[in-house]
Amino acid sequence: MQETSPYLPFVRAWKDVPAFDSDEAEARFWQAHQLEPRLMQSSLHRSDVRESTTITLRFDPRMLSRIKRVARRRYLNYQSMMKQWLSERMEQEMKEG
């Protein structure tokens, strides 16, 4: 694998990255270009650092077992997966009014 040279031209905006027709074409492009550090930083996902409140929910044991099974198949923590599901549903509810 070739290391990034400090002399490669910078990609300063995502619109400057072409659509690639193959993995090889993409590899050639990135061997000849590098992302500008600010563009890379701006693309990083920022975690939600707001305070959270702990709650208690009572589930039927079979349902909780099924939820945990789904989470394991997705390589997720079941509580994080449930939080994601609730967040997605809230977004849907907010859009629907």
The reply to whether 50 falls in a domain is no
The reply to whether 70 falls in a domain is yes
Using the predicted structure, report yes or no on whether residue 15 has a pLDDT greater than 80: yes
The reply to whether 26 falls in a domain is yes
pLDDT value for 62: 97
The reply to whether 48 falls in a domain is no
Number of structural domains the chain divides into:
2
The reply to whether 74 falls in a domain is yes
pLDDT value for 7: 84
User: Which of 62, 69, 16 minimizes the C-alpha distance to 39?
Assistant: 16
pLDDT value for 21: 92
Cβ pair 78, 69 in contact under 8 A: no
Same domain, 39 and 65: no
pLDDT value for 35: 87
pTM more than 0.85? no
The reply to whether 17 falls in a domain is yes
The reply to whether 53 falls in a domain is no
Range of the domain at 38: 10-43
Quick: pLDDT tens for 35-85.
888 888 877 766 666 788 899 999 999 999 999 999 999 889 999 999 999
Q: How many CB atoms lie within 10 A of CB 27?
A: 13
